[in-house]
Amino acid sequence: MTVKSSNIVQAKTEQRSALSAPTSGNYLKAVSAVVWKDLQAEFRSRELFSAMLVFSLLIILIFNFALELDIKTRQSVTAGVLWATFAFAGTLGLNRSMAIEKDRGCLDGLLLAPVDRSAIYFGKVISNLVFMLIVEVIVLPVYSVLYNINLFQPGLLLVILLGSIGYSGVGTLLAAMSVQTRTRDILLPILLFPVIIPVLLAAVKASSGFLDGSDFSDILLPLNILIVYDIIFISVSFMFFENVVEE
């Protein structure tokens, strides 16, 4: 009995300290809890992931017919085709990941949790990023096999990582806004694409630079733009996410 009650007291004090003193450990715990929740829900349903993957393979197919991807054109447009594919498939994932929160009031439940709102933001960004990266990791070898281009270069993978970080950083914030509007899914690409253009532009430049085997000094500039964009937009989103989810 005494052991039990002391346990309860201990648990309560722990809970209180979690409420009153948001230390970095608690913050990380909150972030990872959101990520874990999303990943687990996804691994059970596989709705989002399969939709994104099939959709991106279909886009590659469409590009094949739209652009007549023969050996010559392939060299010059591979980076563009890849990033267009990621951008379109990405909106699908972002929409879905926020829509499942909004339906059945899950978002309200999340917001009731006694954690900083930005922890929810970072959790969502990371889970969206993970979904995007998994899709990209599957699309890359498929594209390599279909078009006989080796896409597994460390430089290109770095570009894809940086581009995806910027994409899901802004995308998560805008998706949180668009699911709360009347037009919902339709609105996200309209909001997202005009502000994401620097990422796509720099990512395409850097990717094609790595694929062509350009000098690293030429690729440094788009890489820097990607890094700067990621830092600026993730900090802005981090600062203003609270304004987007409050009731």
Partner 1 sequence: MQPKPVLLKIIDGLAVILLGVATYFALVKAPTEQVMGQVQRVFYFHIGTAWTALLGFLFAAVLSLVFLFTRDLKWDRFQVAAIEVSLVFFFITIVLGSIWARPAWNTWWTWDPRLTTAAITELIYIAYFMLRQGIDDPDRRARFGAVYALIGGISAPITFSAIRLFRTIHPVVIAGGNPEAQGGFSMTPSMLNAMFVALIAFTVIFIDLYWNRIRLGNLEDKVEQLKLKVML
Counting contacts by CB under 8 A, is residue 182 touching partner 1?
Answer: yes
Q: Exposed (0-12), middle (13-18) or buried (19+): which is 246, by Cβ within 10 Å? A: exposed
Shorter beta-carbon distance to partner 1: residue 60 or 175: 175
Counting contacts by CB under 8 A, is residue 54 touching partner 1?
Answer: no
Shorter beta-carbon distance to partner 1: residue 37 or 102: 102
For residue 139, the tally of other CB atoms under 10 A from its CB is 22
Q: Closest Cα to residue 160, out of 246, 89, 236?
A: 89
Shorter beta-carbon distance to partner 1: residue 48 or 165: 165
Can you tell me which of 168, 172, 205, 223 binds partner 1, judged by CB under 8 A?
A: 205
Can you tell me which of 11, 19, 146, 228 binds partner 1, judged by CB under 8 A?
A: 228
Can you tell me which of 51, 180, 212, 238 binds partner 1, judged by CB under 8 A?
A: 180
Q: Which stretch binds partner 1 (CB under 8 A): 6-14, 145-153, 154-162, 166-174?
A: 166-174
- Name the minimum Å distance from CB 220 to partner 1: 11
Q: Closest Cα to residue 168, out of 244, 230, 106?
A: 230
Can you tell me which of 81, 110, 191, 234 binds partner 1, judged by CB under 8 A?
A: 191
Counting contacts by CB under 8 A, is residue 83 touching partner 1?
Answer: no
For residue 38, the tally of other CB atoms under 10 A from its CB is 21
Asked whether the beta carbons of 155 and 219 are under 8 A apart, the reply is yes
Q: Distance (Å, rounded) from C-alpha 179 to C-alpha 102?
A: 7
Which letter, b or e, does each residue of 167-204 get, where b requires 16 or more Cβ atoms within 10 Å of its Cβ?
bbbbbbbbbbbbbeeeeebebbbebbeeebebbbebbb
Counting contacts by CB under 8 A, is residue 221 touching partner 1?
Answer: yes
- Name the minimum Å distance from CB 231 to partner 1: 11
Can you tell me which of 194, 213, 215, 217 binds partner 1, judged by CB under 8 A?
A: 194
Counting contacts by CB under 8 A, is residue 113 touching partner 1?
Answer: no
Counting contacts by CB under 8 A, is residue 197 touching partner 1?
Answer: yes
Q: Distance (Å, rounded) from C-alpha 168 to C-alpha 238?
A: 13
Which letter, b or e, does each residue of 225-241 get, where b requires 16 or more Cβ atoms within 10 Å of its Cβ?
bbeebbeebbeebbeeb
Counting contacts by CB under 8 A, is residue 173 touching partner 1?
Answer: yes
Counting contacts by CB under 8 A, is residue 225 touching partner 1?
Answer: yes
DSSP 49-63: HHHHHHHHHHHHHHH
Cβ-based neighbours of 56, under 8 Å, separated by 6 or more: 85, 86, 88, 89, 135, 139
Can you tell me which of 51, 99, 177, 227 binds partner 1, judged by CB under 8 A?
A: 177
- Please give the residue ranges that form the binding site for partner 1 (CB under 8 A): 170, 173-174, 177-178, 180-184, 187, 190-191, 194-198, 201-202, 205, 221-222, 225, 228-229, 232-233, 236-237, 240, 243-244, 246
